[in-house]
Every structure is written in C-alpha cells, then in structure tokens.
Amino acid sequence: MNEATIDIKTNEMAHDDHHGPAKGITRWLYTTNHKDIGTLYLLFSLLMLFVGGAMALVIRTELFAPGMQITTPEFYNQMVSMHGLVMIFLVIMPTFIGLANWMIPLMIGAPDMALPRLNNWSFWVLVIASIVLMSTFFVEGGAPSGGWTFYAPLSTEYAKPSITFMILSIHLLGMSSIMGALNIISTIFNLRAPGMGYMKMPLFVWTWLITAFLLLAVMPVLAGLVTMMLTDIHFGTSFFNAAGGGDPVMFQHLFWFFGHPEVYIMILPAFGIVSMILPTFSRKPLFGYDSMVYATASIAILSMIVWAHHMFTAGMPLAGEIFFMATTMIIAVPTGVKVFNWIATMFQGSITFETPMLFAIAFVALFTIGGLSGVMMAMASVDIQYHDSYFIVAHFHYVLVPGALFAIYAGVYYWLPKWTGKMYNETLGQIHFWLSFVSVNLTFFPMHFVGLAGMPRRIPDYSLQFSDFNALATIGAFAFGISQLIFAYIVIRAMFAGKPATQEVWDNPEGLEWTIPSPAPYHTFETPPEVK
C-alpha cells in the first residue's frame, strides 16, 4: 500500500507514487471523498433547480390570464409532468443526499462514508438518469404528459415512446437513491466515533438514518410499479387494463404506497437541519431531544400506512376511509411535537436573526400552514371537494417550497463557511430571504382561494373569475425565480471571493465549533479503520 499524506490547503491526497494527486476533471469523475461527492450533488441540484424552475415559469406564464397564451394543452401537460419529476427526483432528494454526504461523516467523527466507491457511483447514476429523463423532450411525441404521477392506464394504453425512457430514468434514480441510503445506514451504524451513542447523534444524522430506511422500504415498490407499466406497454400484460382483467386502481395503491412516504423522505432531513439551526441562533440546547427522535421515527412509521388518503375519490369501503382518515390525522401529533419543541427552543433564547435563522423560522411558520391544510384534506368527506383542485397544489407546495427548499437554503447558509472556508455576504443573504419569503407566499397562498372556489388543477385554461388570483400567483412565481439567481450568486461568490470564515463566524464560539474548514482524515479503505 502506498503511503499518502493530505494536503491541508487543497484537501487532496498526495501519493508518493508516479501518478500523483488527481487533477482537474479526473478528480471529480473518480473521487471517493465524501466532501467532493457532496459538492457534486449540491451543484447538480442547483443547476436542476433552475431547469425545473423554468418549467414552472412556463406553467405560470400560461396561467397568467384566461385562454391559451403561449403553449398548447399537450405541451402544458408536459411541463406540469416534467416540473414535478425534476423537482422531486433531481432537486430536493439529491440536495439532501449531498448535505448528508458532506455533513454526516463530520458530525459522527467518521473518516468518510462507509462505501466510498458506491458513493461515487450513486452520483453518476443520478446524472445519467437525469440525462435520460430530459432526453424525453426530443423523443417522438414529446415528454410524458400524464402528470408526475403518470397514472395508468392513461400512461400505458396511450403510451408515447417517451414513457419508456421515463421508466428507465426512474429505475436509475431508484438505484441511485437505494445506494445512497445503504451508504448512509452503513456509515451511521459502523463509523461513529468512540463514545458517540445513538442518542448523542445530532438530529440531522437521526433524521437521515430514518429517511434512509424509508428509501429502502419504498423505492423497490416504485421500481416494481414501473416494471409492470413496462410490460403492459411492450409485452402484452394487463396489470392496469380492466379490459384484460387488470385493475387501474391497483396502480394508485402501488404508486401512493411509494408516493406518500416519498413526501416524508423529502421533509424529514429538513426537520433535522432546522433542529440544528434553531438551537445555535437561540443560544440554547434543543428542547426535547429524545422526543424529537421518537417523533421522527413515529412519522416515518405512520407515513407507510396512510397512502390511500390520496384515493378518497377512487371509491373504497367506509371502514377503509375511516382508517386512512384517522391515521392521516394521527401523523399531526408527532409533527406537532416537533413544532412545539422548535418554538420551545426559541422561547426566551438570546436570538439573532442571521440568514440561516430567518429561513429556519420561516420554515416553521410556513410548513405549519402546509400541515394544517393537510389535516383539512385528511377528512374524507371534504377531501372529495378539494380533490384535484388548486387547494391541493397550494398544500403540497407549502410543504415542499417554504418547507423542504427553505430548510435547504437554511442549511446551505449555515454550513457554507464550513464548506468553503469563506463567509457569504450576509446582506445579500437577507435580501434573498425577504424576496423569497414574500414571493413564495404571493405565489402559493392565492391558490388556496381559487382551489376552494373550484379551479381544477392540470388544466391550462380557466374561468374568468379566477384571473386576478392567477395573475398574482404568476407575478409571485417570477419574483421567486429571479430571487434564486441571487442565491446562486451568493454561493458562487462565497466559493471563490468571500472573506475568510473565523471560528466565531456566528459570534457564538461555543455553538459552532466546526465552522472552520477541515481536511478529511486519510484513509485508503483497503483496511478497516483503526479506532484509537
């Protein structure tokens, strides 16, 4: 085995053989360093955020006024479908896996992720999957247009060629997620520093451990579902075709058995980030650490038994409706525990309002709005009225934009000095927050009203009475999109030109002992790490 040293400034291994350290593009292609791979995930997600965001702006431009503006109904549906797939599978999930790659080894004292080569592979499989998915725009017939849920038999009996590409892409995305989840579980179980018991782990590590098990449980279900779609399209089976003895409702059961835990896969790591940030800027320990861990586990378990609340209009026995209604409402209990603990953490704290704290507080407030509208939709009798209206769109965007995305922004601002060794521009960060906060509410809050008034989703045209609120939402969407350019500028500037970060970067010497850059401990992974 070659001896190797770490160059502290570049965080690269310098070997004494004739190959030398990897340079340029080769370093990024072959890297097994968890920090490099985390950076790749985060930069890839930032790029895809603007791709998916551009699709959202096409949707909102079409909806600015009644009548058809710039698209055809078919292209509008392609935009709706691809926007959902890109934002879920290529933005939110890869970002959280990138944050896990960067931070989990540092938080638990591990030299790196447990399976570094698998880690590299999981990222590049994600990139290939994204290329396959985006290529559907150039296939005959265009991209999938059956919504991000691609319900059969609409997506199988009337399948475009692009549906096959989408199925391949989903298989690859599932592979990437499963490899990432296996890596995170292996790392947390096996590479914790001596003395770090499970109930001493930071909340971000706990939320990701639970999320990883959720991923392992539900991604194979999605893989099985799209394989059944594939055989329906190409091999003459009739899993979802009633004329051949199949059951279209079975598609919904299988899809939402994956789809509802998927919502929690996208929000549990956000809970972890917020649980790290609020204590720091409140200068207080997190209130109720044990209850936060148990609440997270409870949410994950309950998320597996509530899927059919998406299917109240599909027809089910009264007992089934009552069961799924009750379990859905019960999820509000551990979620409420978390919100209570966050508020209690801030109560009587010595709070300062730096950018990460602003995003974290906004997360608590706006995620709660999304959660309350979720409790409204949990009631089977009234969900029949809300179903497939813009009220649903408002609900899940409040959970995923000021929810997951704001938590990601909070985490990036919080850890950016750690990652780059440089401080971001705090004034620009505050401007980014306030523009985002105002515009996200301007975009999505009016959707509650048009949804309750009966405006259906997935339709490119609408009645005249909805035009004022839709115009407001479109203005808000463009303001939100433009404000994210400020975020990209802040991040890139911090990478190359910010002021050096200090130990006291948040004027809190005790709360953030790991804000200065640190090299990864050297390890070849050819022998087990020694515990000293």
The question of whether 176 is a catalytic residue gets the answer yes
Identify the active-site residue in 81, 162, 187, 335: 335
Q: Which residues contact 434 (CB under 8 A, 6 or more apart)?
A: none
Identify the active-site residue in 39, 95, 176, 439: 176
The question of whether 309 is a catalytic residue gets the answer yes
336 within 8 A of 376, measured Cβ to Cβ: no
Identify the active-site residue in 232, 262, 354, 383: 262
Identify the active-site residue in 387, 457, 493, 523: 457
The question of whether 282 is a catalytic residue gets the answer no
**What gap in Å lies between CA 393 and CA 390, rounded to an integer?**
5
Number of H helices, E strands in the chain: 19, 4
Helices 248-265, 289-303: inter-axial angle, 10-degree rounding: 170
Identify the active-site residue in 28, 121, 148, 151: 148
Torsion of CA 176, 179, 180, 182, to 10 degrees: 160
Residue by residue, what is the 3-state secondary structure of 225-264? HHHHHHHHHHCCCCCCCHHHCCCHHHHHHHHHHHHHHHHH
Identify the active-site residue in 34, 171, 260, 284: 260
The question of whether 345 is a catalytic residue gets the answer no
The question of whether 19 is a catalytic residue gets the answer no
**What gap in Å lies between CA 90 and CA 48, rounded to an integer?**
6
The question of whether 291 is a catalytic residue gets the answer no
The question of whether 275 is a catalytic residue gets the answer yes
**What gap in Å lies between CA 198 and CA 89, rounded to an integer?**
29
The question of whether 262 is a catalytic residue gets the answer yes
The per-residue DSSP string of 324-351 comes to HHHHHHHTHHHHHHHHHHHHHHHTT---
Q: Which residues contact 272 (CB under 8 A, 6 or more apart)?
A: 202, 203, 204, 205, 206, 207, 208, 296
**What gap in Å lies between CA 331 and CA 303, rounded to an integer?**
8
Burial tier of 467 (Cβ tally within 10 Å: 0-12, 13-18, 19+): middle
Which candidate, 504, 485, 498, places its Cα nearest to that of 354? 504
- The partner residues of 499 in beta bridges, in order of sequence, read 423
Using alpha carbons, list the distances in angstroms from residue 180 to 10, 46, 96, 207.
Answer: 26, 19, 11, 14
Identify the active-site residue in 35, 60, 83, 171: 83
The question of whether 112 is a catalytic residue gets the answer yes
The question of whether 335 is a catalytic residue gets the answer yes
The question of whether 457 is a catalytic residue gets the answer yes
**What gap in Å lies between CA 3 and CA 140, rounded to an integer?**
54
Pairing of strands 422-423, 12-15: unpaired
**275 half-sphere exposure, CB direction, 13 A CA radius:** 30
**What gap in Å lies between CA 484 and CA 482, rounded to an integer?**
5
The question of whether 381 is a catalytic residue gets the answer no
Identify the active-site residue in 171, 309, 395, 432: 309
Which candidate, 246, 78, 166, 110, places its Cα nearest to that of 525? 110
Torsion of CA 452, 456, 461, 463, to 10 degrees: -40
The question of whether 338 is a catalytic residue gets the answer yes
Identify the active-site residue in 39, 45, 169, 177: 177
Which candidate, 480, 483, 490, 409, places its Cα nearest to that of 439? 480
Active site residues: 83, 112, 148, 176-177, 260, 262, 264, 275, 309-310, 335, 338, 457
